[in-house]
Structure 1
Amino acid sequence: MIKLPRARIAIPFSTLVKALIKIPFIKLKRGDLNEQFERSLAAFWSLKYCATMPNCRVSLYYVLKSLRLQQGDEVLLTPLTIPDIVNAIRMLGLKPVFVDLSLDDQNIDIEDLERKISSKSKVLLLTYVSGIVPDMDLIMEKVRRHNLILLEDISQNYGSTYKDRLIGTFGVASIGSFSTGKTIASLLGGVILTNDKNIYDYIVDSASRELNKPNKIMLIRVLVEQIKIALATHPIIFSCVTYYAFRLFATLTPQSHFTFKKYSSKVVEKIPYYENYPILREAFPDEAMVWFSDLQAEIAMQSFRNLTRSIRLRRDRFAILCSNLNRDILELMPRALKNVNQNVYWHVPLYLKEDTLEFKKRFLKKGFDIIGFALRACSMEPVFEEYYQENPNTLLIKTNSVFLPIHESFTEKEMVKLAKSLNDHFEKRRSPVMKRYNLDNKTILITGAASGLGRCLTLNLADRAKKFILVDKNEEMLNEVVSILRGKGKDVDSYIFDFKYIDMLGQKIDEIYNNYEQIDVLFNVAGMEIAGFVDDLTLDSMREAHNVNCLAPFLFTSKIIPKMKKQGSGQIVSIASDMGKRGIPGRAPYCASKFSLVGFFESLRLELEPYNIDAVTVFPGVMNTNFWKNIRYEGRINAAGYDDKRPRNEPDAVAKRLIKKMEKRKRVISKFSPVTVYLFLNHTVPAFADYITKKSLDFKKVNL
Structure 2
Amino acid sequence: MKIPRAYYYMNFFEPLKTCLRLVSLQHKRFSKVQEFEERYKEVFGNRYISLVSHARTGFYFCLKSLGLEEGDEILMTPINIPDMLNMARICGLKECLVDLKKETYSIDLADAQKKLSPKTRILFLTHLNGIVPNMDDIVHFCKENDLILIQDCTQIVNAKYKGRNLEEYSDYTISSLCDLKVIHTHIGGVITYSSSALKEKVDQIIERECSTMSASYFFRFLVEDMVAVILLNRVFFTFFIHPTLSMVTKLIGIDGVENFTKGKGLKIGPFYLFKGLFGGGGNVLKKSVPKGMLFSFSNLQASIGLKRLSLFKDLERRRIRNSKILYKSLAKHQSSLPSLNSSGSCVFWKFPFLTEHLEELQRYLSQRGVDSARSNLKCFNEIKEFHIKDTTPVASELSRNTLYIPAHPYLEEKDMLRISKYINDFFRNNS
The normalised TM-score by structure 2 is: 0.92
- Counterpart secondary structure, 2:84: helix
Match of 1:361 in 2: 363
Match of 2:94 in 1: 95
Q: C-alpha displacement at 1:268, in angstroms?
A: 8.6
Matches within 5 A, 1:163-562: 163-253=162-252, 254-261=254-261, 269=275, 274-275=279-280, 279-325=284-330, 327-336=331-340, 342-354=345-357, 356-385=358-387, 387-430=388-431
Contact 2:6 2:406 (8 Å CA) reproduced: yes
1:334 counterpart letter in structure 2 = P
- Counterpart secondary structure, 1:138: helix
Change (3 A) 1:176 1:75: same
Contact 2:46 2:192 (8 Å CA) reproduced: yes
Q: Which deviations, in whole Å up to 9, do the C-alpha atoms of 1:401-426 show, x marking residues without a partner?
A: 11111211112121111011111101
> What is the CA–CA distance in structure 1 between the aligned matches of 2:61 and 2:215, rounded to whole Å?
24
Q: Which deviations, in whole Å up to 9, do the C-alpha atoms of 1:16-43 show, x marking residues without a partner?
A: 3322333212331252211111222233
Q: C-alpha displacement at 1:99, in angstroms?
A: 0.3
Q: Which deviations, in whole Å up to 9, do the C-alpha atoms of 1:223-275 show, x marking residues without a partner?
A: 23322322222222111111111111222122121344378999995689x43
- Counterpart secondary structure, 1:84: helix
Contact 1:42 1:193 (8 Å CA) reproduced: no
1:66 counterpart = 2:69:
no
Contact 2:132 2:344 (8 Å CA) reproduced: no
1:422 counterpart letter in structure 2 = I
> What is the CA–CA distance in structure 2 between the aligned matches of 1:296 and 1:88, rounded to whole Å?
23
> Number of matched residues?
424
1:426 counterpart letter in structure 2 = F
Matches within 5 A, 1:14-163: 14-163=13-162
Q: C-alpha displacement at 1:94, in angstroms?
A: 1.0
Change (3 A) 1:127 1:277: farther
Contact 2:265 2:277 (8 Å CA) reproduced: no
Contact 1:380 1:388 (8 Å CA) reproduced: no
Q: C-alpha displacement at 1:181, in angstroms?
A: 0.4
- Counterpart secondary structure, 1:297: helix
Q: Which deviations, in whole Å up to 9, do the C-alpha atoms of 1:501-555 show, x marking residues without a partner?
A: xxxxxxxxxxxxxxxxxxxxxxxxxxxxxxxxxxxxxxxxxxxxxxxxxxxxxxx
Contact 1:155 1:177 (8 Å CA) reproduced: yes
- Counterpart secondary structure, 2:180: coil
Q: Which runs of 4+ in 1 moved over 4 A?
A: 262-272, 338-341
Please identify the structure whose Cα radius of gyration is greater.
1
Q: C-alpha displacement at 1:125, in angstroms?
A: 0.9
Contact 1:229 1:263 (8 Å CA) reproduced: no
Q: C-alpha displacement at 1:341, in angstroms?
A: 6.3
> What is the CA–CA distance in structure 2 between the aligned matches of 1:389 and 1:169, rounded to whole Å?
30
1:309 counterpart letter in structure 2 = D
Contact 1:128 1:157 (8 Å CA) reproduced: yes
> What is the CA–CA distance in structure 1 between the aligned matches of 2:418 and 2:287, rounded to whole Å?
49
2:422 counterpart letter in structure 1 = S
2:416 counterpart letter in structure 1 = M
Contact 2:130 2:350 (8 Å CA) reproduced: yes
Contact 1:45 1:168 (8 Å CA) reproduced: no
Q: Which deviations, in whole Å up to 9, do the C-alpha atoms of 1:168-196 show, x marking residues without a partner?
A: 22100111111110111111111111133
2:377 counterpart letter in structure 1 = L
Match of 1:518 in 2: none
> What is the CA–CA distance in structure 1 between the aligned matches of 2:263 and 2:426, rounded to whole Å?
26
- Counterpart secondary structure, 2:61: helix
Q: C-alpha displacement at 1:340, in angstroms?
A: 10
Contact 1:12 1:303 (8 Å CA) reproduced: no
Q: C-alpha displacement at 1:88, in angstroms?
A: 0.6
Q: Which deviations, in whole Å up to 9, do the C-alpha atoms of 1:426-448 show, x marking residues without a partner?
A: 11011xxxxxxxxxxxxxxxxxx
Change (3 A) 1:381 1:230: closer
- Counterpart secondary structure, 2:51: strand
Q: C-alpha displacement at 1:310, in angstroms?
A: 2.0
1:335 counterpart letter in structure 2 = S
> What is the CA–CA distance in structure 2 between the aligned matches of 1:378 and 1:143, rounded to whole Å?
22
Change (3 A) 1:324 1:15: same
- Counterpart secondary structure, 2:142: helix
Contact 1:321 1:415 (8 Å CA) reproduced: yes
1:26 counterpart letter in structure 2 = L
- Counterpart secondary structure, 1:191: strand
Match of 1:633 in 2: none
> What is the CA–CA distance in structure 2 between the aligned matches of 1:181 and 1:234, rounded to whole Å?
13
Q: C-alpha displacement at 1:46, in angstroms?
A: 3.4
- Counterpart secondary structure, 1:176: strand
> What is the CA–CA distance in structure 1 between the aligned matches of 2:74 and 2:39, rounded to whole Å?
30
2:220 counterpart letter in structure 1 = R
**How much is the aligned-residue C-alpha RMSD, in angstroms?**
2.3
Matches within 5 A, 1:566-577: none
Change (3 A) 1:401 1:46: same
1:191 counterpart letter in structure 2 = V
Q: Which deviations, in whole Å up to 9, do the C-alpha atoms of 1:613-666 show, x marking residues without a partner?
A: xxxxxxxxxxxxxxxxxxxxxxxxxxxxxxxxxxxxxxxxxxxxxxxxxxxxxx
Q: Which runs of 5+ in 1 are unaligned?
A: 431-704
> What is the CA–CA distance in structure 2 between the aligned matches of 1:143 and 1:341, rounded to whole Å?
20
- Counterpart secondary structure, 2:10: coil
Contact 1:319 1:340 (8 Å CA) reproduced: no
1:392 counterpart letter in structure 2 = P
Q: C-alpha displacement at 1:343, in angstroms?
A: 1.0
> What is the CA–CA distance in structure 1 between the aligned matches of 2:113 and 2:126, rounded to whole Å?
17
- Counterpart secondary structure, 1:81: coil
Change (3 A) 1:163 1:230: same
> What is the CA–CA distance in structure 1 between the aligned matches of 2:274 and 2:244, rounded to whole Å?
21
Contact 1:54 1:188 (8 Å CA) reproduced: yes
- Counterpart secondary structure, 2:155: coil
Match of 2:270 in 1: none
Q: C-alpha displacement at 1:96, in angstroms?
A: 0.9
2:101 counterpart letter in structure 1 = S
